[in-house]
Structure 1
Amino acid sequence: MSGLLFENVTVRFGSTAAVDDVTLTVPDGEVLGLVGESGSGKSTLARAAVGLVPVQGGRIVLDGEPIDVRHGRRPLQMVFQDPYSSLDPRMTIGASIAEILPRHLKRAARADEVARLLELVHLDPARAEAYPLQLSGGQRQRVAIARALAGRPEVLIADEITSALDVSIQGSILNLVRELQAELGLSMLFISHNLAVVRYVASRVAVMHRGRIVEEGPALDVLADPQDPYTRELLAAIPGRIPTSTDNQRSTP
């Protein structure tokens, strides 16, 4: 199967296995939601994919091949939880995005591409000269997404990208994720502690607990008929009801 494959991946910190023999696939052109409480290992798995933490066992491959980061190309790009800390406060947002673009692009082409990416995330291209401090949290997260897309990734990893934002703007970022996935056909690993949020953006869901995947499958199946007690606990913790497929077409959680 094409896509991003974690095959028996183990990540240890000392004697503790933060990720324990995990096998998981992010299918090509789909969004896989990875859900679990804080400390479950989901962010560690994401960081292992982009090379930020070493893997002690197993392998991570893309379309059947080892991930190649030669010549500065990174086929996996990650959007982090805190949009402010992921952007250099000394750089304009246009410069931050341009930094990730292919080096062969000339100056005019780079400016055009920065403008296109800002429009793609629904920001005025004129804001390219603004600094992160001049933007709201939601706007900074849109810039972080545009910056990740500038790398032309084959897989986008989104790690709790709404949890640091005000509730009032979380929905707009989730809508943007859905829109970009539909428009660009993105393959995405979407990480959250909130099953309702994951259900809104993901076609498949994997549940992680104490470093292991305890349940995985189509989102509707997992939410309608959870098989693992931990999944049932996560569902029980959600206030109100789980959005249905019809709800997904008209509202955010």
Structure 2
Amino acid sequence: MSELRFEGVTVRYGPTMAVDDVTLTVPAGTVVGLVGESGSGKSTLARAAVGLAPVGAGRITVGGAPVPTTGRRPLQMVFQDPYSSLDPRMTVGESVAEAMPRAGSRADRRAEVARLLELVHIDPAWAAARPAELSGGQRQRVALARALAGRPQVVIADEITSALDVSIQGAVLNLVRELQRELGLSMLFISHNLAVVRYVATQVAVMRDGRIVEEGPTDRVLAAPEHDYTRELLAAVPGLTTPTGRSPR
């Protein structure tokens, strides 16, 4: 896994500045949380990284090299909606295999699909199933397996638990933590929920109106937020307390 870096990145849609001069680093082998309300620009920044939004200024690098605009990309993204992230006409195995580099025999590819499904705690027997046969949580696990199939240097997870039932969210977050430990995963984890970010990320950046307004180690930001907007986000999470046991003020 490698470092992902945004350097002075700007994204504009007509007169609207969606991302304004953002500099942010995801160190190799770490999970960095990016938080903010809807419309803050966090998803636009993610889409710019994978080539789905136009970068008007600045640059995005992985491992010190600019992200290529053609060919195999070192970034893979897992999207918010598990029900639209997989092609309903393809089996689970076909969806995962499609993202793999074009090498190896059919048997090798089937074995790799099985390994990836097991990695995300999906029985390989589900490889023959269609997405409609899976639950939302299962689909999101398959989406993670598909992202890993591309052998990325960095994974971007955009609100991957927000569309799931609360009972399933915890299992997916546990999976993210497990993958980070086992694979040394580099991940930009996007969420509007600071409680979720606290659970998976070692560092956090807070985004508002297209800008990063605060960043640092997760424990420090949650214990002693410096920006009023960060304090507002913390106050919006029921029961979220600082490491001293007090609600942030």
How far has the Cα of 1:242 moved from its partner? 3.5
Using the TM superposition, give the Cα deviation of residue 169 of structure 1 relative to its aligned residue in structure 2, in angstroms. 0.5
Q: CA 1:114–1:46 in 2, change beyond 3 Å: closer, same or farther?
A: same
User: Superposition RMSD on alpha carbons, in Å?
Assistant: 1.4
SS of residue matched to 1:140: helix
How do residues 116-155 of structure 1 correspond to structure 2 at under 5 angstroms?
Answer: 116-155=115-154
Structure 1: distance between partners of 2:241 and 2:13 = 35
Deviations 1:152-199 (A, max 9, x none): 110000000000001110000000000000000000000000001001
| Residue aligning to 1:78 | 77
Q: CA shift at 1:81, angstroms?
A: 0.2
After TM superposition, list the pairs within 5 Å mapping 1:193-204 onto structure 2. 193-204=192-203
The question of whether the paired residues in 1 share the 8 Å contact of 2:234 and 2:240 is answered with no
Q: Which residue matches 1:184?
A: 183
Distance in 2 separating the partners of 1:130 and 1:227: 49
Residue identity in the other structure for 1:174: L
8 Å contact from structure 1 (residues 196, 242) kept in 2: no
| Residue 97 of structure 1: aligned partner | 96
Asked if 1:29 is matched to 2:29, the reply is yes
| SS of alignment partner, residue 197 of structure 2 | helix
Separation (CA, whole Å) in 1 of partners of 2:175 and 2:119: 9
Q: 1:114 to 1:236 in 2, by over 3 A?
A: same
Change (3 A) 1:67 1:60: same
Q: What SS is found at the alignment partner of 2:51?
A: coil
Q: Secondary structure at the match of 1:123?
A: coil
Give the length in aligned residue pairs.
Answer: 244
- Matched letter for residue 226 of structure 1: P
For residues 175 and 231 of structure 1, the distance between their equivalents in structure 2, rounded to whole angstroms, comes to 25
Q: 1:243 to 1:170 in 2, by over 3 A?
A: farther
Q: Aligned partners of 2:175, 2:149: CA distance in 1, in Å?
A: 16
CA contact (8 A) 2:222 2:242 kept: no
Alignment correspondent of 1:171? 170
Segments of 5+ residues of structure 1 without an aligned counterpart are 246-253
Q: TM-score, normalised by structure 2?
A: 0.95
| Offset at residue 69 of structure 1 (A) | 5.3
Aligned residues with identical type, % of pairs: 75
Counterpart contact for 2:223–2:242, Cα < 8 Å: no
> Which residue in 2 is equivalent to 1:249?
none
- Secondary structure of 1:222's counterpart equals helix
Instruction: Provide the C-alpha distance between the structure 2 equivalents of 1:123 and 1:103, rounded to a whole number of angstroms.
Output: 23
Corresponding residue for residue 63 of structure 1 = 63
**Corresponding residue for residue 52 of structure 1:** 52
Q: Which runs of 4+ in 1 moved over 6 A?
A: none
Q: Given the alignment of the two structures, is residue 226 of structure 1 paired with residue 237 of structure 2, yes or no?
A: no
Inter-partner Cα distance in structure 1 for 2:68 and 2:210: 26
TM-score, normalisation: structure 1: 0.94
Distance in 2, Cα, partners of 1:243 & 1:99: 44
**Shift in alpha-carbon separation, 1:192–1:106, aligned structure 2, 3 A:** same
Where 2:219 maps in the other structure, the secondary structure is helix
- Cα distance, 1:227–1:143 mapped onto 2, change above 3 Å: same
Q: Which runs of 5+ in 2 are unaligned?
A: 245-249
Give distance in 1, aligned partners of 2:138 and 2:168. 10
Give the aligned partner of residue 239 of structure 1.
Answer: 238
CA contact (8 A) 2:201 2:218 kept: yes
